[in-house]
Amino acid sequence: MDPILSSARDEEAGALAATGSSREVILRVERLGYAYLPGRFAIRNLEFEVGRGEVFGLLGRNGAGKTTTVRVLTTLLPPTEGTAILFGKDLRRCGRSERARLGVVLQAESLDFVSVERNLTLYAFLWGVPREVAKSRAEEMLELFELGEVRGRKPWGLSGGERRRFQVARELMHEMELLFLDEPTVGLDALTRKRILEYLARRARHGLSIIFTTHILQEADLLCHRIGVLQNGRLRAHGPPAEIKRKYRGARTVEAEFERALTAPEQHDLLAVLTREGRGFVPAAVDDSSIVFRADNAEDLVAAISRWAHGLDLEVERISVREATLEEAFVNLVTDDASSDPAGRAELA
Amino acid sequence: MKVPPVLRLVVRNFVANLDPITLLVMFGQPAFLIVILGTMFNQLIGTVGASGSYIAFLVPGMIASQMITGAVLAGRVFWLDRRWAMVEQIFSGPYLRAEYLAALLLTALLFSLVGVGIMVLVALPLVGIPGLTPVELGVILGTIALGSLFFGGLLIAIGGRIRSANLYFTIQSLLQYFLIFISTVYYPVSGKTPAVLRAIVYANPLTYAANTVRDAFTHRFGPGDLVAGAILASLAAVAFGLAVASFRTLELGPVQ
C-alpha cells in the first residue's frame, strides 16, 4: 500500500469524521432502487451519503449493481423507488444545472471521431469551457495522463490502457463538484494507476467529491474515505475501509518465532493449546522454532502462546498478527452473504 | 461569448463523427448523378414538361433529394453517438434530451442546405443560373427544411428503437433508395405510368418536395404546391412527434 497516499487519506478521513455535523453532504441516497422490469430490481434500498471532498468507493462483484447505481445517480436511469438528494435537490427533479456540476466517466468507452487532442478540446467546448482554458487544460491532461505522444491519433487507434486514460482525461477537462468514475483503472498498469489515483486524491483534497467503482480493492483501500459493498443489488456494508476490514476481517494470520527449536512433544503440546483455544484455527506452517497459523481470534491465541511459552520458560522472539486486507474482508463479506442469502437477486424482487 | 446549448451540439455534430470521405461520398454521389446521368439522358430525352431539357428537370429533383442526404447524415451522427456511448455522455452532462434532438434536426437541415448549395454549384455550368424570385427561393428552402424535418425525424425515431447498427443502416439504405427511386426526382409521372406505381409515387413525400422545387424553378408555383407544402408540413410534424416519443423512451446502454 502506498504509505503517502493512504496516510493522507486516513488524515482526511479523521478530519471528515471530526467535523461531524458540519460536514457538507452533497449526495444523500435514500432507499434508492431501480427495477429494470416490474419487480426485478437491479439495486434496492441503497442508503449512503457522500460529503464534499470525500471519496466513496462502491465495491461489488460483477453484476452487483455498481454500474446501475452510477447510472441512476447520474440521472441516466430514473429511480423506481426511493430517491437521492443531489446538491440539495431530489434526483427526480435534477436537470441541467445539477448535471453541470457532475463529471461522469462511464464504463462504456465514449468518443468522437476526431484526434485525442481534438476530443479533449471539443468536449471542453461542449461544457462551455473558454477556448484558451481548454487549450492549456488539454496540455495539462495530455501530460498528466501520458497521452502527449498519441495526441494526433484517433482514440480507436489507442491501446486499451491509453483509451481508458483518455476517458478519464477528457472528463477532467471541465470543472465539477462530484465525479463519478465507473471502473476508471481497468486495464491500466500499476504505475499509471498510481499516478491517476494520486491525482484524484489531490483533487479530492481540494474539495472534489468522487464516487468510484472498482474491482481492485487495494485501490479502494488507498483512495476511499468510505466504501460501500454491494451484493446482489443491496448495500451489505458501508463505512471507512478500516472499519470494514475490522468488522469483516475473519481469520487472520499469526506468526510466532521462538528463541530455540521446539521439541516434538512441545510442538504437539502447542498445537493442542491452539486447537483448544482457537476459533477457526488452521495451522499453515510449523517448523522447529516457528509457527504460522490462521484463526478468527488471533489476539486470544497470541496471549495463549505467551502463556504457554512462559510456562516452559521459553522466550518468544517475535510474534505478529498480520492485519486483514480489504480484499480479505470483502471476500468474507460476500462469501457470508452468498451462503446466508442463496436466493440472491430473486430475493430482491 | 456564451454559445447556446443547441448550437454547441450542432457545432460538435459537424466537427465530430463525420469524416471527409463520408461527406465526399454523400454529397459527391448526387453531384456525380447530375453531371453523368443528366448529360447522358439529355442525349436520349428531348423535353420533359415545363423544365425543358432532362438535365433541367433533374437538377431541382436532386436539390429536393438533399433533404434525404442531410437527414441520413444526422441519423448517422445519432447512431454513432449511440454506438460510441456519446448519447449517454451528453445526457449525463448539461444538456436536455430535447436539445440533443433539436440539434440533430438542425444538423439534418444544415447538411441539407449544404447539399443544396453543392448541387446548385455543380448544376450552374450545365443549366445556368435560375432566375428565382425571393418567394421561389423561400419556397425551395422551406420545402427542404420541412423535408429534412420529416426524414430526419423518421430516421431518428427508427434509430432510437433499434439496438443493432446492421439493422439501422439496412433500414436507412432501404428507405433512402425507396424514397428517391419511387418519386419524381429522376423521372416524371404521367398518365402512362402504371396506376400502382403512380399511387406509390404520390404517397411519397419526396415527390411533393421535388415537384414543389421544380415548380419554383420553372416559375409555376401554384395552389397545388401549397397543398403539397401542407401535406409535407403535416408529415414533418408526425415524424417530429415520433422522434420525440422515441427519445422519451430511448433506452440507453450498449448497442451492437
| Cβ neighbour number for residue B62 with a 10 Å cutoff | 28
List the CATH number of the domain containing A209. Answer: 3.40.50.300
pLDDT at B252: 80
Instruction: Write down which residue in A247, A267, A295 finishes a domain.
Output: A247
Which candidate from B2, B12, B92 shows the least CB-CB separation from A76? B92
- Which of A98, A110, A174 should we substitute to test contact with B (largest number of B Cβ atoms within 10 Å)? A110
Confidence of residue A207 (pLDDT cuts 50, 70, 90): very high
Are A37 and A77 in the same domain?
A: yes
H-run or E-run covering B92: none
Same domain, yes or no: A185 and A302: no
Q: Are residues A67 and A87 in the same domain?
A: yes
What is the structure's pLDDT at B37? Answer: 86
Which residue has better confidence, B168 or A348? B168
pLDDT score, position A341: 47
Do the chains contact at A128 and B94, CB–CB below 8 Å? yes
Note whether A31 and A8 are same-domain residues. yes
**Residue where a domain stops, chosen among A247, A268, A287:** A247
Same domain, A220 and A181: yes
Strands A55-60 and A81-86: unpaired
Q: How far apart are CA A143 and CA A119, in angstroms?
A: 15
Q: What is the pTM of this model?
A: 0.82
Q: Which amino acid is at B48?
A: V
Residues of chain A with C-beta less than 8 angstroms from the C-beta of B19: 113
A118 part of contact set with chain B, CB < 8 Å: yes
Q: What is the dihedral of CA B16, B17, B22, B24, to 10 degrees?
A: -10
Q: Could you list the residue range(s) of the whole structural domain that residue A69 is in? A: 3-101+176-247
CA–CA–CA angle A179, A184, A186 (5° rounding): 170
pLDDT score at A18: 46
CA distance B9 to A112: 12
Pick from A106, A112, A113: CB nearest B88: A106
Residues A81 and A182 in one domain: yes
- Tell me: do A274 and A292 sit in the same domain: yes
Find all residues with CB under 8 Å of A309, minimum gap 6, and list them: A258, A315, A316
Q: Are residues A184 and A305 in the same domain?
A: no
Per residue of chain B (256 residues), give pLDDT as tens: 788 999 999 999 998 877 788 888 888 888 888 888 888 888 888 777 777 788 888 888 999 999 999 999 999 999 989 988 899 999 999 999 999 999 999 999 999 999 998 988 888 888 777 788 899 899 999 999 999 999 999 999 999 988 888 899 999 999 998 999 999 999 888 888 899 999 999 999 999 999 999 998 888 888 888 998 999 999 999 999 999 999 888 888 767 7
Minimum mean pLDDT range among A209-223, A318-332, B190-204, B235-249: A318-332
Structural domain total, chain A: 2
Which residues of chain B approach chain A closer than 8 Å at the C-beta? 2-3, 5, 8-9, 11-12, 15-19, 80, 84-86, 88-96, 252-254
Highest mean pLDDT among A121-135, A186-200, B70-84: A121-135
pLDDT of residue A10: 56
Query: Is the pLDDT at A345 greater than 80, yes or no?
Result: no
- The answer, yes or no, to whether residue A119 has pLDDT greater than 60, is yes
**Residues whose CB falls within 8 Å of the CB of residue A26, separated by 6 or more in sequence, listed in order:** A50, A51, A52, A86, A87, A177, A178, A209
Least confident of A276-285, A339-348, B101-110, B165-174: A339-348
Predicted pLDDT at A100? 95
Whether the pLDDT of residue A195 is over 90: the answer is no
Q: Is residue A162 part of a domain?
A: no
pLDDT tier at A281, thresholds 50, 70, 90: confident
Shared domain check, A256 and A222 = no
Confidence label for A342 from pLDDT (cuts 50, 70 and 90): very low
Whether residues A187 and A308 share a domain: the answer is no
A-chain CB neighbours of B21 within 8 Å are none
A270 and A230: one domain? no
Residue with the larger pLDDT of the pair A81 and B123? A81
ipTM (interface pTM): 0.86
Residue A274: CATH number of its domain:
3.30.70.2470
pLDDT at res. A347 = 35
Is the pLDDT at A287 greater than 60? The verdict is: yes
Q: What cell does A270 get?
A: 502447542
Average pLDDT, stretch A302-331? 86
- A74 with A202, same domain: the answer is yes
**pLDDT on residue A7:** 54
Name the amino acid, one letter, at A337. Answer: D
Chain B residues with CB inside 8 Å of A102's CB?
92-93
- Condensed to tens digits (0 to 9), the pLDDT of residues A142-184 reads 999 999 999 999 888 888 888 999 999 999 999 999 999 998 8
| A166 three-state secondary structure | helix
